[in-house]
Amino acid sequence: MRVGISVMAAAVCGLSALCPARGLASDRPAIVGYVFPRNTILAPGQIDAQSLTRINYAFANTKNGQLANGTAADAQNFASLVALKKANPSLTILISVGGWLGSGDFSDIALTEQSRTTFINSVMDFLHRYELDGLDIDWEYPGMPGAGHAYRAEDGQDFTLLLKELRRRFTQEEKVTGRRLYLTIAAGASDAYLAHTEMRQVQRYVDDVNLMAYDYNEAPSNGLTGHHAPLFIDPNAPNKQSADASVRAFELAGVPAKKLILGVPFYGRSWQGVNSEDHGLFQPGKPAAQDFIPFNVIEGTMLGHGFTRYWDASASAPYLYSEDQKIFVSYEDPESLSAKCKYVLTHRLGGVMFWEYSNDPNGVLLGTITRTLRTSKLGAH
């Protein structure tokens, strides 16, 4: 899914047997989709296997320090997803563990050699049982409280050790079976995440870093409206965060561009009680009744239904505003997504990741990704 390995990665990785395998790359960027069924059975034809290179199934749970099914529907869904590889043999299926509400056990899991070994043994059993292609760890976040879970000052170092030992076990397994196993992480797109992790070391052991370049602005934590996933920073924005700034920060922290998968949201964020100055952009507001809005809801009930779309050229981001309802919505649309895909190509990133599949059932955004990324080779301008 990538072209070789960058000079920076080669210098850090060297010839270590712990490094991800090489020589299995494609000249096309990865298209990674999180699938989050929420204890429902996936319907036949629900997932477009041809448009994806990787599915991250969210989420497994942890129980007694071991990887465990998240819901009763998981086993049937795993079988359905693995069957998609008949239509697309290059498709890989990873199990994702963690998330905002599911990261409470990671600090304990990563704490000691014994606890890490217990977890890793359970991972291997899980992958064998369901014929999956690897593991995606979404620890939100090492060394920080997240959704009120336990954390420790040493989480960053322990996280590195957990990934190192997972990579070693995966490499041993690959030598026996000849079958590639993938190890990825979902990373918070913030300076705080970088300060609490060892990304220059982490990147040695993972195939990809899924950069969650969204939720930069949310009404519950920010009383001013703004873009929640801008590609660039608007000079007038109080919040000086963007996908581009995060990519540059992760590269500076030691992650090669080709291991960075740019995360994009298939949903919007909203504020209410917003005055009409600048069509609501960078204005005071409070959380709307529906703060999180799937793209298909925006497309079907807001666009052309009392909301006007505006475009912030400096941020390369769209937004909606309803003067009657005083509601502001930041979201991703085909124009902004096309710009991000072109950014991925120009900056030779590893690909695009999105959260999550069910928010775009009509394939409007996924279609934009596939059309843009697959018309050019990785690194093309």
Catalytic residues: 140
* Buried b or exposed e, range 132-161, using 16+ CB within 10 angstroms: bbbbbbbbbbbbbebeebebeeebbbbbbb
CA 23/CA 3 separation, integer angstroms: 8
CA 174/CA 177 separation, integer angstroms: 5
Q: Is the dihedral of CA 275, 214, 374, 47 positive or negative?
A: negative
What's 86's DSSP letter?
Answer: G
Q: Are strands 317-322 and 327-330 parallel, antiparallel or unpaired?
A: antiparallel
Q: In 1-142, which residue ranges form alpha helices assigned H by DSSP? A: 7-13, 74-83, 106-109, 113-130
For 85, phi then psi, to 5°, come to: -70, -15
Q: Are 265 and 355 in contact (CB under 8 A)?
A: yes
Enter the tokens of residue 62: 């942890």
CA 25/CA 18 separation, integer angstroms: 18
CA 369/CA 363 separation, integer angstroms: 10
Q: Is the dihedral of CA 200, 171, 34, 261 positive or negative?
A: positive
Which residues have a Cβ under 8 Å from the Cβ of 213 and sit 6 or more positions away? 189, 229, 242, 243, 246, 247, 262, 263, 264
Enter the tokens of residue 58: 């969210």
CA 302/CA 322 separation, integer angstroms: 9
For 125, phi then psi, to 5°, come to: -60, -40
